Amino acid sequence: MTHDSIISTLKRKGYSNLFSNVINIEFYIRYLPDGNSVKVIGITDSSSQNAPSVEQINAVYNRIQQRFVLVENKNVDTIFIIFSDNIEKDKVYNNNIFNFWLIDKIGDRLIVFENQPDDFDSIKYDILNSDNYSYGNSRNRRARTRAPKSDFVPYVTIMLMGINIFIFIITWLSTIGMSETQKIMFMVDHGASYSSLIFDSGEYYRLFTCMFLHSGISHIFGNMVALFLLGMSAEKLYGRFNYLIMYLVTGLLSSFVSAWIHYGNRIISVGASGAIYGILGGIIILILGQNKDKNSKALNVLIVVIMLVYAGRSGGSMQGSSIDYIAHFSGMVAGMIFGLVHLLLLKMKNDKIKNSAVRF
């Protein structure tokens, strides 16, 4: 487990070198897609001539917290990775305010003390499995590593699903016993997209309300399965706020494009498909834009394609239960544009950090 292998792992995870005035610690930084959080990793060698003391690392840790929390108003997580040729001596780093891991240069092992984080930004799994490295805790037990478990809860996705399902139940109960024509008119009266009413009567609210209406059980089921599977990934990748904005913006844009192209036709459109395709487009861009190995990219893209085919079978237009492909396509394009803008803003932020020295 070498210094270079650690750096390669961090770069694959999207970390950039953070230049600072601290000469005996290298820093690497990654801004999370949510725009509100940052990960900082410090790398040093306790056996080097200028090895930092416990007091120095404590001071640097405090300055990092001040720099990002007080100045940039970011949530910051920091860990120090310390190469060591004397584990017993370097236990002195334990029980301090900063988080750290030791890398045993002699035993070629990663040492994680019991009071230290078992993982950090999912890098431990990559480090330990890249070259079949060993892992031990403070008692030097060896263990086979597994992929890190995530405790992330997709609250926004659950909320959106709850709203869609609640509205569907209300509309379904309200239309029991109605003929198909009466059901369609009920949907129109309660916010379905109908281009003549939108553009001629100025009822633009329908571009929003139609996103939460569904034409039947198969329609709501297909959309909610796709929303759960895609939304769960997108919410984690983009952060809750950005994900919610992407869902609403792409849904509105897809509704507008569909209504505009269908103007003059007697087509009534409902469903969350446009927003779901927006999420799909955003995920595709982020997967392709992330600095991951080719096999991982190919697997993720394959999963997305499978979901694309599945979601494409979900209806959207009520006339004859046909599919509103225009809403799907325009939603995906809007999601891709959202993803590209998001990646561009992240790159600009990371480049700014990378090209400027930070004083700790």
Mean pLDDT in order along the chain per 10 residues (360 residues):
82 82 86 82 88 87 83 85 88 84 86 88 77 46 44 89 96 92 91 93 95 91 90 87 95 95 88 92 82 52 56 50 80 94 80 53
Residue 144: closest CA among 155, 153, 134: 134
Whose tokens are 């109605």? That residue is: 178
Residue 3: closest CA among 46, 33, 60: 46
pLDDT, residue 90, reads: 85
Residue 286: closest CA among 228, 344, 223, 330: 344
Q: Ramachandran region of residue 31, left (φ > 0), alpha (ψ -120 to 50) or beta?
A: beta
Residue 284: closest CA among 299, 300, 306: 300
Classify strands 37-45 and 26-31 as parallel, antiparallel or unpaired.
Answer: antiparallel
pLDDT, residue 211, reads: 95
- The structural domains of the chain, with segments of one domain joined by +, span 3-149, 155-347
* Alpha carbon 107 to its chain's center: 36
Are the beta carbons of 303 and 279 closer than 8 angstroms? no
- Cβ-count burial of 141 within 10 angstroms (0-12 exposed, 13-18 middle, 19+ buried)? exposed
Fold classification of 3-149 (topology level): Trna Endonuclease; Chain: A, domain 1 (3.40.1350)
User: For residues 189 and 2, what is the distance between their CA atoms, to the nearest angstrom?
Assistant: 67
List of E strands, the chain: 16-18, 26-31, 37-45, 75-84, 100-104, 109-112, 134-137, 193-194, 268-269
Are the beta carbons of 157 and 27 closer than 8 angstroms? no
Q: Which residues of 50-89 are buried (b: 16+ CB within 10 A; e: fewer)?
A: ebbebeebeebbeebeebbeeeeeeebbbbbbbbbeebee
What one-character-per-residue DSSP string does 303-341 give?
HHHHHHHHHTTS--B-GGG---HHHHHHHHHHHHHHHHH
The letter for the amino acid at 311 is A
SS3 235: helix
The answer, as to whether pTM is greater than 0.75, is: no
pLDDT, residue 133, reads: 46
SS3 26: strand
What class is the 155-347 domain?
mainly alpha
CA angle 5, 296, 338 (to 5 degrees): 110
